[in-house]
Amino acid sequence: MNTPPSYSCNIRQIQTDFFAMRLRAVGGDLTADQLNTVADIARRYGSGSVHITTRQGIEIPHVHKKDLAEAQKELETAGIKMGSDGNRVRIVIACPGKNTCRYGSIDTPEIAEEIDRRYFRLDVPYKVKFGVTGCPNNCGKARESDIGIMGMRTPKWDSEKCIRCNACIKLCPVQAITGKDDRYERDESTCIHCSVCSVLCPAKAWGPESTGYTLLIGGTLGKKPRLGIPLKTNIQTSEELFELIEQTLLFYKANGKPKERLGHVINRMGEDAVIQAILSESYSA
């Protein structure tokens, strides 16, 4: 008898006895060899097609129920694990982050891997989706996720490097930079910490004074969409970041009703009340 798979995530199709196998690709990352395995499984057990989901997931459709166990065994042998469904934490999505993107301020794959390691398939009142993005360009859908992590960069102006070209004023997407009397100033209340000035300044007069994280909560798409709200900005350490993520999940488990997304808990209880509760309360698992 074959050893049963660790767990499965197979989505029933309208075709009788056929399923789509949902795979686990944290941050959308798989090796070239793993992609070859996925293609091979799709050809031998499915219809030869693969579906790439909007959240960086991979699904192999048209797999007959009699082949699911064997197909999953072969996938797991190649290091490809199954995804998640139901009332659980789902697959984490992430942009490439600072490893390859000039605007990225944080190591998004590292954060995504740690979230996956700690919370993947955790039981919650309804599904929880994480999005990790390196900057406010939001390629990793942090604002649209139940819990989103966004990198931020605080810029600082260096008068000695500056050539007074006014490029920073023209390039700033929110007009947070002004120039007067041969000096440039940044309005902290307007700045979105997007790193545009520090990346595109031709003289490198704007440089990063610090980098950090913004933690967003309550985003969701679906039938009742809403954008996430900041729980805390300018978080300086990953330790504090994960403490706040932990508190958010515990709050949700304590207060969420069945089939109620975190964002809809916020709608019901009020933004200020939820933020205060997460930041001040201690919840036990």
Tens of pLDDT, residue by residue over 40-83, are: 999 999 999 999 999 999 999 999 999 999 999 999 999 999 99
Determine contact, residues 65/17, Cβ cutoff 8 Å.
yes
Q: Which residues pair with 23 in a beta bridge?
A: 58, 82
pTM, full prediction = 0.92
pLDDT, mean over the chain: 94
Tokens of 83: 């995804």
DSSP string covering 204-232:
--EEEEEEEEEEEE--B-TTS-B--EEEE
Topology of domain 154-211, per CATH? Alpha-Beta Plaits (3.30.70)
Percent of the chain's residues with pLDDT above 70: 96
Provide the 10 A C-beta neighbour count for residue 231: 22
Domain with CATH 3.90.480.10 in the chain: 10-82
Topology of domain 93-149+216-280, per CATH? Sulfite Reductase Hemoprotein; domain 1 (3.30.413)
**pLDDT for the residue 197:** 96
**pLDDT for the residue 283:** 62
pLDDT higher than 50, residue 242: yes
pLDDT higher than 80, residue 22: yes
DSSP string covering 33-69:
HHHHHHHHHHHHHSSS--EE-TTS-EEEEEEEGGGHH
Lowest-pLDDT choice from 71-85, 189-203, 270-284: 270-284
Domain with CATH 3.30.413.10 in the chain: 93-149+216-280
Radius of gyration for the alpha carbons in the chain, expressed in angstroms and rounded = 22
Sheet holding 93-94, edge to edge: 93-94, 130-133, 147-157, 206-217, 229-235
**pLDDT for the residue 284:** 56
pLDDT higher than 50, residue 4: no
Domain with CATH 3.30.70.20 in the chain: 154-211
Tens of pLDDT, residue by residue over 122-173, are: 999 999 999 999 999 999 999 999 999 999 999 999 999 999 999 999 999 9
**pLDDT for the residue 1:** 30
**pLDDT for the residue 83:** 93
pLDDT band at 120 (very low <50, low <70, confident <90, very high): very high
**pLDDT for the residue 2:** 38
Query: From 2.40.50.250, 3.90.480.10, 2.40.50.840, 1.10.10.60, which CATH number describes the 10-82 domain?
Result: 3.90.480.10
